[in-house]
Structure 1
Amino acid sequence: MVVQKLRRAGGADAVTATAVVVAAVATGLAGCSPGAAGTAPSAGPVAADGGKDDGAAGGPLGAVRAAPDLLVRAGTSRTRTALEMATGGTRLTIEGEGGYDFRAGRGQVRVLLPEDGDRPRRRIMELFTPGALYMKNRGAGVPVDKWVRVDTTTLADGNLVTGGATDPGAAAELLRAARHVTYVGEAHVGGVPVAHYRGTTDIGAAARLAPPRVRGALAAAAKGFTTDTVPFDAYLDEAGRLRKVRHRFSFTNGGREVDVASTTLLYGFGSPVDVWLPPLGDIYAGRIAG
């Protein structure tokens, strides 16, 4: 499996300094390779795009690359997220649920962390906005009624994994630079018939093609990873809208390589999504525990 490795320099310090969710959870991991949870139905590839990455494209490649624009036309959706991490023999999953406005580039997801020793599962509210991630109830010495604001352009991965949920807008925008796309076959996502596509994308190229609201975060990710290549599985409905996308990454934590599979589900298109940013007085400005 092709994976992406995060550089431990520059922006990586920002990840540690903010004590983001994945880094905290990953320290408890030990042992095995990721399993096949969430793997799409298996049908042999029947079409390929030949790997050309410039100019107009049709077929599977064109369908996948058009998905981000179709989501903007749809406006809003409900979303469920899952970030599955594995190293050695242990796998943990961080789940989330909320809504996203693809026109404004804003969304909110309530993330459910796994159990940590004797501590029960904890929920963190996250707000996605252009260039920033807000988190509430994130622990590490932050008062429960306060928010933490993180500049996603300073994160070594552009918040593709470190917040515990991939920004749904960024997950879709990565598909603008899709390459080597194949049509796998028909499937169903949430009872909706979809076309399953598989390929790779290039983060650097996606950053150059993305709209300004997500360009900075993706550009940071392009600099922070040692390779821009990210494998994906995308599922599009009859209208060409993205219903599910699964990206596969990896990063190093404490000398161990952690494999990450990030899955974003989209449904309920057109549902109301109101994202209210916290007032300045509710944003924590103190020291965050590492």
Structure 2
Amino acid sequence: MVVRAAAGVLGAVVVVTSTGCAERGAAADDRPADDHLTTVRQAADLLVRAGTSRTRTTLHTASGGTRVTITGHGRFDYANRRGTLVVTPPDEELGGTGGEPITELLTPGALHMKNRGAGVPDGTWVRVDTTRLADGNLLANGATDPLRAAELLRGAVAVAYEGQERLGGTDVRHYSGTAALAAAARAAARARGGSAGELAAAAEGFGTDVFTFDAWFDREGRLRKVRHRFPDVSVTSTTTLFDFGVPVTVRMPDPADIYTGRIEAVPDDGSGTGARTGHSTS
């Protein structure tokens, strides 16, 4: 269901185990297990305090014998829950849209995309109401926005400390574990997190509630990288955060330049491309 939604938004089946560049260190840690769980669960709260950062995203999927990767990069303002991404779909021969970058504006409750293609007039934006997406826009835009990626960790139910490593020249602590979408949605609601509704939608839209993760935190407790694996839909999403404090400006499109869009699911023929994007003006 979620993979098909991702295919519909970007015109491509959207997966992978991320290319790891961290150096493994000693795995010993004398802190109580509850401290590890707290570190992981509070990832989103500390990002809000950190303010802003740059981000890189990778989304891998495997469906119908096809493996596809979508990448992105941008900036995000965690306090105001908005940011920008430039997402690059796969090449046309892999079922993509020719690899032309798509500009995305991420805001609470809505996603705007430019250069979407699929009959959308040049210079206009597609607007999608993310509260109506079956996966809560967790994967459907070809990327997991960095704050939502952190809020998924609110649902951590088991955490293991994997050791100290180096990631992009920064000392980080590596954790792995399992989490539940429904638990993440409930925790986000208690924390008054803006993604509570979207996470609840994802909990209903996915075939299974439980997913696995790896997460890396710096000495200040800020999330530096997180990888989620959703086995039921064969999707792996990796988000990397860096350059904290970078200026972030999100300029919303003029209403006259918005071409409203919606996601329409169609029967899957087994190729993994069983979704399309429907568009309508408003």
Residue 20 in structure 1 maps to residue 1 in structure 2: no
Match of 1:232 among 202, 213, 219: 213
Alpha carbon RMSD of aligned pairs, Å?
Answer: 3.0
CA distance in 2, matches of 1:49, 1:132: 40
Residue 83 in structure 1 maps to residue 59 in structure 2: yes
**Mapped contact 2:138–2:145 kept (Cα < 8 A):** yes
Find the counterpart in structure 1 of residue 247 from structure 2. Answer: 272
CA distance in 1, matches of 2:37, 2:2: 30
Distance 1:261 1:35, change over 3 A: closer
Distance 1:76 1:7, change over 3 A: closer
CA distance in 2, matches of 1:132, 1:158: 10
Distance 1:146 1:234, change over 3 A: same
**In terms of mean alpha carbon deviation, does 141-150 or 231-240 score higher?**
141-150
Encode CA deviations 1:57-98: one digit per residue, 9 max, x unaligned. Answer: 832111111211111110100001011122465432111010
- SS of residue in 1 equivalent to 2:87: strand
Find the counterpart in structure 1 of residue 85 from structure 2. Answer: 109
Match of 2:45 among 66, 69, 77: 69
Find the counterpart in structure 2 of residue 255 from structure 1. Answer: none
- SS of residue in 1 equivalent to 2:216: strand
* One-letter amino acid of the counterpart of residue 72, structure 2: G
**Mapped contact 1:34–1:87 kept (Cα < 8 A):** no
Q: CA deviation at 1:285?
A: 3.8
Encode CA deviations 1:259-285: one digit per residue, 9 max, x unaligned. Answer: 211000000101011112112111114
**Mapped contact 1:70–1:241 kept (Cα < 8 A):** yes
Give the 5 Å matches for 1:166-205.
166-205=144-183
Distance 1:36 1:112, change over 3 A: closer
Q: CA deviation at 1:205?
A: 1.4
Q: TM-score, normalised by structure 2?
A: 0.82
Find the counterpart in structure 2 of residue 208 from structure 1. Answer: 186
Find the counterpart in structure 1 of residue 70 from structure 2. Answer: 94
* One-letter amino acid of the counterpart of residue 38, structure 1: G
* One-letter amino acid of the counterpart of residue 233, structure 1: D
Residue 58 in structure 1 maps to residue 34 in structure 2: yes
**In terms of mean alpha carbon deviation, does 204-213 or 220-229 score higher?**
204-213
Distance 1:20 1:107, change over 3 A: same
Encode CA deviations 1:216-272: one digit per residue, 9 max, x unaligned. Answer: 111111111122111000000001100000001256xxxxxx521100000010101
Task: Give the fraction of aligned pairs with identical amino acids, expressed as a percent.
Answer: 52
Find the counterpart in structure 2 of residue 281 from structure 1. Answer: 256
CA distance in 2, matches of 1:49, 1:204: 28
Q: CA deviation at 1:40?
A: 6.0
- SS of residue in 2 equivalent to 1:158: coil
Distance 1:181 1:126, change over 3 A: same
Distance 1:164 1:153, change over 3 A: same
| Alignment gaps of 5+ in structure 2 | 263-276
Q: CA deviation at 1:121?
A: 1.8
**Mapped contact 2:53–2:245 kept (Cα < 8 A):** yes
Distance 1:276 1:44, change over 3 A: same
CA distance in 2, matches of 1:124, 1:174: 25
Find the counterpart in structure 1 of residue 20 from structure 2. Answer: 38
CA distance in 2, matches of 1:36, 1:105: 25
Distance 1:7 1:36, change over 3 A: closer
* One-letter amino acid of the counterpart of residue 19, structure 1: G
- SS of residue in 2 equivalent to 1:176: helix
CA distance in 2, matches of 1:169, 1:285: 25
Q: CA deviation at 1:155?
A: 0.9
Encode CA deviations 1:101-157: one digit per residue, 9 max, x unaligned. Answer: 111110110001111129742100011111111111111111121111111111111
Distance 1:39 1:48, change over 3 A: farther
**Mapped contact 2:216–2:223 kept (Cα < 8 A):** yes
Residue 260 in structure 1 maps to residue 238 in structure 2: no
